[in-house]
Structure 1
Amino acid sequence: MDKIKIENLEVFARHGVFPEENKLGQKFLVSAVLYTDTRRAGKTDALSASTDYGEVCRFIDMFMREHTFSLIERAAECLAEELLIHIPGLEKVRLEVKKPWAPIGLPLETVSVEILRQWHRAYIALGSNMGDRKAYLDQAVKALDSLPLFPAKGGENNGEEGDRSSCTGAVEQVSKYYETAPYGMTEQEDFLNACLSLRTLLTPEELLEELHRIEQEAGRERIIHWGPRTLDLDLIFYDDLILESDELCIPHVEMHKRRFVLEPLCEIAPYRRHPVYGKTVQEMLEECT
């Protein structure tokens, strides 16, 4: 991916642990690598086709001046998220926030925090076999399209809950709803299943927490394994990530065996390739019995 680099933009801001820093302020240096597609701008020579680095610099300066954080880690995190949300065409950003006069009582040149943040694409499987199944799936799609900027446990440095009005979720595609027979425990009502693709800034673990929150808001109770449920949300793919932990396995460990996942997923991403098996969704569907 192409890059536009901004090095050591000087801004005056009021970030720091000590009250004097918040009151008097000090100089900060911000560097950014903007990952974007410069091809169209390079072919047309039109500013409107480019990521305007002047606009980005003004955005950084305004954000750093208008907010106050105790930690430069927090300043960098929030600035990266706001840039990704508000700057058109920006897919990924590497940010470094330098603090030249860090008050530690020892001589140093700068202290800095450098982070890399980007948009991710996740694929979610949805299912319901209790009550108004379609309504549960519709509500889940709406909830996923308005995921919060910060995880449920997040908050500003005053301890309040994160800003849930700023969203990092954007549902891109939704399959049609499929009527399917129950899997595992077969003595229950038929399911309504679907899949969707989601563009998000959340990490896999944060996204999993949000999926559980949405399930709980729909009255989901985890009592019987493979039993009836108002809403079931499974994280199938997250970019090309391969992850195995106690809480989460990506890609979903059973997806290649489940026609009720593969069929709607094939509708929206037939050529998406499984990062472990190397097969496309369409190939896995053709082989699923």
Structure 2
Amino acid sequence: MIKLIVTDLDGSLLNDNKELPPDFWEFEKTLRELGIVFCIASGRPHHNLTRLFQPIKKHTYFLSDNGSYVSYNEEALLIKMLDPQIVATLVKASRGLADVYPVLCGMGKAYMEDHNEALLEQALQYYQSYQMVDDLTRVSEPVLKVSLCDLQNAETNSYPHFKKFENEYKVAVAGERWLDFTACDANKGTAVRLLQQRLGIGFNETMVFGDYMNDLEMMQTAKYSFAMKNAHPGILNAASFITELDNNNNGVLQTIVKILENPLFFNKNPVEKNRFRQ
């Protein structure tokens, strides 16, 4: 039986307009009543996730900042900070790249040093709590993640300049416009394994969904690892399964329904299974 479901947000649970499926709240309630733990794993910061999922934040596990910060009911279960010297190195290296802007992700807010309108249009989708500073290398607050907003293309423009540092910290193309850096041992896969251990849930009882390269390690934590139909080729290759529908057609929830209604995976009675159709 599936006991743990973990999903990425952008490009997975959310459609391209950054909207949740219209039946999400009732769906999550049904999963909870059936004893299935539903978790959110995202590159987004903690404050954004708790705001988006306000109605269920007290009983939802959040794996924010690509797994650098894991929390439950405002209790921190895992925190992985970047070394300040690494933060300064990344900021300085990014300044010489065309159309690339660094964002520092702290525990409670983000930090930026540029008022570029295109940057703000991208960043404010995820960082409602932020502070403008004159020099990011002088930010003294702990940093969970450095994100580069690449207005060209993160994979082809900025990533090649930082690929050589992959042995020093985790480098992940997190979307068309985002390149993320976290501590070497901070990723969604590490975070999911922490939850499995904490909850006593195994590999064979776990289902995960993702679409981009910051979901790569997470694909290795579950027997039922699903790449979204719209996923990056690297995730399509890494996952065990591919959803029939993309993120704009409710691919995550529809896949869950299909799997849980299969008697091979669900040991509840038909009345309970039919609750997904209500």
Question: Larger relative contact order (C-alpha < 8 A, sep ≥ 6)?
Answer: 2
With the length of structure 1 as denominator, give the TM-score of the two structures. Answer: 0.28
Larger helix fraction of residues:
2
With the length of structure 2 as denominator, give the TM-score of the two structures. Answer: 0.29
Q: Which has the larger radius of gyration?
A: 1
